[in-house]
Chains A and B, each alone.
Chain A
């Protein structure tokens, strides 16, 4: 019933508004929302990931699976999903959600579908293919999620103000405000790489939390609308007064702030540069982990931290009882990072999130403190602890950003236990949706690129590539695998072992022989730690060499990477941002007694040992990036980052 759908969309915010504030506390909104799937959501389950996975380039993300998994969001899911799916399959129906909801809020009376379509097609048609899934996901978590995008387009700003004046979209208006903060932030936020940054982040997050309570002006974070402020303030005041009186106090302060200014303040501080002595000293004083600086550091990499490895383990273990603020789960994971027991972007990210989950479960808001702020500060201290153990990966940075946003956006009216439960489920959902399901989708996509008789080359041990190879083998594809490995980590050996155990035929060699073996290779599958928005693939050191040789031999290079690892940073070389591993690992060659030339030379001051952990593969070596949003060329990474980044935070 197409005419019926629009009103629903229109009403949705109102429904939400009722059920939103105590979202997970009250079962009624869910009950009320439940009819929608029945009414409007006729096609929602029509396309499953399996049916999508074979379409060649742009595949609507099969996140419906995960959507359905998230019980908290179920009320909102079906309606937008249905519409969006529709939009994707038939552009005529193509009602674009933000517009739709905007229209709906601005004119509560059911607007004719034609006008709806007009806006949807006219303004967003070029982006709708991307947003389709995006907004679907947005909607899956937030009723007004789409607004975030809408706000950023100047044309719609008036709609926002109009909506606000109607006083009907108060819930959504609030929502917009809350979300607008992160939406402007991710554009600039850099990954956390040092304690100092983490500290700043905590401050900022606290600020954001404060803002989220009542800051209006940020709703217009796109900063193009001045009238919105004026229009909003009165309306907001009214809402706030009625709904959440506590918000009113901070509201005025927030609204006075000019959006431009705010944005500047939001700009993240540059990453900690470890060649800045005074700062390093400061950071050291705060540090939990007493790392000793390595000797003979490489001149080029003075800006990166390099510590002696293996010295602080016992020391830290003994400290566990003195460190009151550190949750044991966090502590344990931190030690595992330190010892290198957990490695790999996904594994580290999941371990960290689960540690946070445990910490949140055990968290009790101290008296006279605000959960939002205090928990954010707590998380920040955990993050800085993790950073001390090992520099954060980009994926972890993104996950932390997500958590902080979720905390910042917790409705004040929630009780502590509710808030904690909500956060825990959010984390679960992030793990499930962004990592586990995303991996499954990537596996489906990538296996379509494997043909019988292929010789596939991979480097190191990427868990996603391993999953792809195993799945392709499982479904009966006939291919051979070449595993390239390199010192000092020799991660390829573990991959080799697992592949052989599953019966795949493998060839194993070291990275120097890559140009020898490349003659017989038909495709290269590589994992990535992150993909930057200039298309540079940041991954385990050596991937760049493999990609380069493959490129020289005209072999396609396929990068497999979950979209949550994408980052808006740009990088040209592997030197400005990297991680240094244990230098002694370079020195010693385990199992080779004959290679002992340097045994007594560690302390020679003119010998330096460089153990780089990552390198940056230029985008021209990359033929394709397989993500959970489909298969894209590296030039499309900034699009994904732009379009999905905010939504990722909004989830």
Chain B
């Protein structure tokens, strides 16, 4: 196995050179990298979790700094941190749960275990939630049994912990790491399967003879549409080509190959066609905590047109695209300008680009942004792998995946860079 640092550096280089395209690929590779970071990390006997968190954070900061616009990197780093925090707590809880379960199994026939196991299980769950998650309605409701049960379990837990500690010390460090890696593997699997999970919901949203418009290309959208097609829905898709990358051509090709009725249109014709469209389904680059979407360039225009014609604007996003940050001036701060050569050939206007003429500033500027910001009021629905959500609910969705301690991750890289 190669040294972690070389792996990290390699990945950093790729990020900086924008060699990895798409938040899905980035998320996946980030997770794999972090997994190897964790597995290579030497863990001290005390504060194991803290050590792991520090290691992951250190790498994460570098990764985020390498491409601050690729929000998926930060999302994944935060999620891995969240996993570590969760696993750090779980040894104790698992132990308790194990005890309780064994207790239950032991005195199976016994009649005086009235409330004990039930209470403790609920309490464990509540306790873990309490430490990791911000207060929510659910935890508020669970607080009631919690207050009664926690002292009891904690004492018993403490006892069992104390007993097992000496015997288990070495195995425990391995177990934390092992559990974390296990959980990270699950995360990778989640990322891999998010398309299918989103696509499963397709039939609930697409009806017969629907006309769907999309812009550019997104694997999630492709699979979503194909899943509906496989369920014998027949519908029509308008694909805007998505200049200047023309990913729409790619999507059109895929859709045609799968037998969907596809019409390729120019981006400028979106407004003309949207009046005959029933639904706009697009992918996203990232979903911000306020429900706004960082999306491929051009989607704000599409969203405005959809709003004008009261066409639902549906955004498909895997959970790795949920970003716990609130955007500020995202059009500029979370954007990236690509090469002007995608719009104009360098040779074509070379005579216009000389800085020497006149005031010394060039007469011609070419702007080629990568992303658009679609404000939450233009989005009708988010479909994630956990189901459909309103833009206003995204902040809550995010709380399930990230712990509040990690939100500031993004602010730290500045000095590092």
Contact = CB atoms under 8 A, between A and B. Distances in A.
Contacts of A381: none
A573 B363 CA distance: 38
B376 interface: no
Interface in B283-312: 297-298, 300-301, 304-305, 308
B266 A507 contact: no
Contact of B364 (A488, A508, A608): A508
A300 B276 contact: yes
Given A544-B272, A548-B305, A497 B331 contact: no
Nearest to B303: A515
Interface in B209-254: 236, 238, 241-244, 246, 249-250, 252-253
Given A496-B364, A504-B363, A586 B266 contact: yes
A611 interface: yes
B272 A516 contact: no
Contact of A598 (B253, B260, B273, B301): B253
A165 interface: no
B367 A517 contact: yes
Contacts of A513: 297-298, 367-369
B387 to A, nearest CB: 29
Interface stretch (B24-32, B142-150, B342-350): B342-350
Contacts of B308: 548
A298 interface: yes
A505 interface: yes
A541 interface: yes
Given A504-B363, A595-B249, A610 B264 contact: yes
A519 interface: yes
Contacts of B256: 601, 604, 606-607
A493 B344 contact: yes
Contact of A505 (B272, B276, B363): B363
Given A504-B363, A598-B249, A606 B262 contact: yes
Contact of B276 (A487, A549, A575, A591): A575
Given A509-B366, A586-B264, A601-B256, A514 B301 contact: yes
A542 interface: yes
Contact of B266 (A517, A552, A612): A612
B390 interface: no
Nearest to B240: A512
Contacts of B238: 610
Given A300-B276, A505-B363, A516 B372 contact: yes
Contact of A545 (B246, B261, B262, B270): B270
B268 A542 contact: yes
Contact of A507 (B241, B264, B358, B366): B366
B335 interface: yes
Contact of B252 (A298, A300, A504, A597): A597
B301 A611 contact: no
B254 to A, nearest CB: 9
B126 to A, nearest CB: 46
B352 interface: yes
Contact of B267 (A487, A508, A609): A487
A168 to B, nearest CB: 56
B292 to A, nearest CB: 13
B102 interface: no
Contacts of B268: 486-487, 511, 541-542, 545, 612, 615
Contact of A591 (B267, B345, B361, B366): B345
Interface centre among B264, B269, B343, B345 (most CB of A within 10 A): B269
A648 to B, nearest CB: 29
Given A503-B363, A506-B363, A510-B343, A544 B241 contact: no
Contacts of B22: none
Nearest to A482: B367
Given A507-B367, A545-B305, A548-B308, A615 B267 contact: no
Given A507-B365, A508-B343, A508-B365, A575 B242 contact: no
Which of A506, A515, A587 has the most chain B CB atoms inside 10 A of its CB?
A: A515
B269 A610 contact: yes
Contacts of A606: 256, 259-262
Contacts of B267: 486-487, 510-512, 542, 545
B265 interface: yes
Chain A at the B interface: mostly helix, strand, loop or mixed? mixed
B300 A515 contact: yes
Interface residues of B, number: 54
B243 A511 contact: yes
A589 B263 contact: no
B331 A575 contact: no
B272 A512 contact: no
B259 to A, nearest CB: 6
A608 B262 contact: yes
Contact of A519 (B244, B272, B305, B331): B331
By DSSP majority rule, is chain B's interface helix, strand, loop, or mixed? mixed
Contact of B272 (A486, A497, A601, A616): A616
Interface string A594-605: 010110010010
A586 B265 contact: yes
Contacts of B244: 510, 512
Given A548-B304, A552-B304, A598-B253, A608 B264 contact: yes
A425 to B, nearest CB: 41
B271 interface: yes
Given A597-B253, A606-B261, A615-B271, A506 B266 contact: no
A608 to B, nearest CB: 4
A545 B271 contact: yes
Contacts of B344: 493, 508
B275 interface: yes
Interface string A612-629: 100110000000000000
B343 A509 contact: yes
Contact of B352 (A486, A500, A573, A616): A500
Contacts of B261: 606, 608
B266 A488 contact: yes
Contacts of A612: 265-266, 268-269, 272-273
A291 interface: no
B335 A516 contact: yes
Contact of B275 (A299, A552, A575, A586): A575
Contacts of A166: none
A490 to B, nearest CB: 9
A541 B266 contact: yes
Given A488-B266, A597-B252, A548 B271 contact: yes
Given A298-B263, A541-B268, A552-B304, A601 B253 contact: yes
A39 B246 CA distance: 69
Contacts of B343: 485, 508-510
Contacts of A592: 246
Nearest to A480: B365
A509 B301 CA distance: 14
Contacts of A514: 301
29 contacts: A299-B236, A486-B267, A486-B268, A487-B267, A488-B266, A500-B349, A500-B363, A505-B363, A506-B365, A507-B366, A508-B364, A511-B243, A512-B243, A512-B297, A516-B331, A516-B335, A516-B369, A542-B267, A542-B271, A544-B271, A573-B276, A574-B272, A575-B272, A575-B273, A598-B249, A607-B256, A610-B269, A610-B273, A612-B273
Given A512-B298, A586-B266, A610-B238, 18 more contacts: A300-B276, A486-B243, A500-B352, A509-B366, A511-B267, A513-B367, A515-B300, A516-B369, A541-B272, A586-B241, A589-B246, A598-B264, A606-B256, A606-B261, A607-B262, A607-B263, A608-B264, A615-B272
Closest 9 CB pairs of A and B: A512-B298, A542-B268, A574-B272, A486-B268, A615-B272, A515-B300, A597-B253, A509-B367, A595-B246
Interface of A: 298-300, 485-488, 493, 496-497, 500-501, 503-517, 519, 541-542, 544-545, 548-549, 552, 573-575, 578, 586-587, 589, 591-592, 595, 597-598, 601, 604, 606-612, 615-616
